[in-house]
Structure 1
Amino acid sequence: MAEWLVAAIRRLLIAIGLVAKPQYLFRLVGEHPVDDEIEDGAVYVVGGKDYQKWAYFRCLTDRSEMTMQNLGGSCASWPTSVAGSAIAVCTSCCAGRGS
C-alpha cells in the first residue's frame, strides 16, 4: 500500500478517535538523516526490511539535540509495538565497552 495512503488512513483513525495517537512514529529510511530533517515524535530507523542498524530521534530532554542509537549492540532496550522490535538505549552502563 502506498505510504501516503497509510499515513492518511492513520490520521483519519486518530482524528475520529478509533486509534490513540502514538507517542512516536517509526520511519524506515535507507540513509542516515540530516539533523535538520529529524522531526519531533519520529524515530528514523536506518536499514532495510530485514536489517536495522541505527535509530535517530530528538533527545527527550533537549529537543534541539539529535540522538543516534546503535540497534545492533548489546545495550539495554525497551520493547516497542513495531513488530516486536526494540530500540537500543545506550546509557552509562555501556560507556567504554565499545558498544
Structure 2
Amino acid sequence: MISSFELLLNDSLKKVTDAISQNERNEKAPLSIQALTQVKKELEEMIKVMDPKVYMPGYPRFIIDWPGEDTLIKELVHVAALYEKIRKS
C-alpha cells in the first residue's frame, strides 16, 4: 500500500521532471537544470529509503534562497520538512 506521503513525494518528483523538460525546451523553469537534476535524484532516494535517520535530502539548503517566488520551490522545501518528521516503527 502506498502512503499518502509517498504519493506526495511522487507528485513532487513528477513536477521536478516536468520542470527539467521545460528547461530542456528553453522554457522558463523555477530552478536551473543542475539544481532540478539534483533535486530529482534526492527525491528518488527519499522514495526508496523513506527513513530520515538513514537518508536526509540536502537540496532544501540550496533552493530555499533561490531568487523568485515559485510554488515548486516552496513545495519541495515543505516536502523535505515533512520527510524529516517520518517515524519508522
TM-score (norm 1): 0.27
Higher relative contact order (CA 8 A, sep 6+): 2
Which structure shows the bigger proportion of residues in helix conformation? 2
**Structure of larger gyration radius:** 1
Which structure shows the bigger proportion of residues in strand conformation? 1
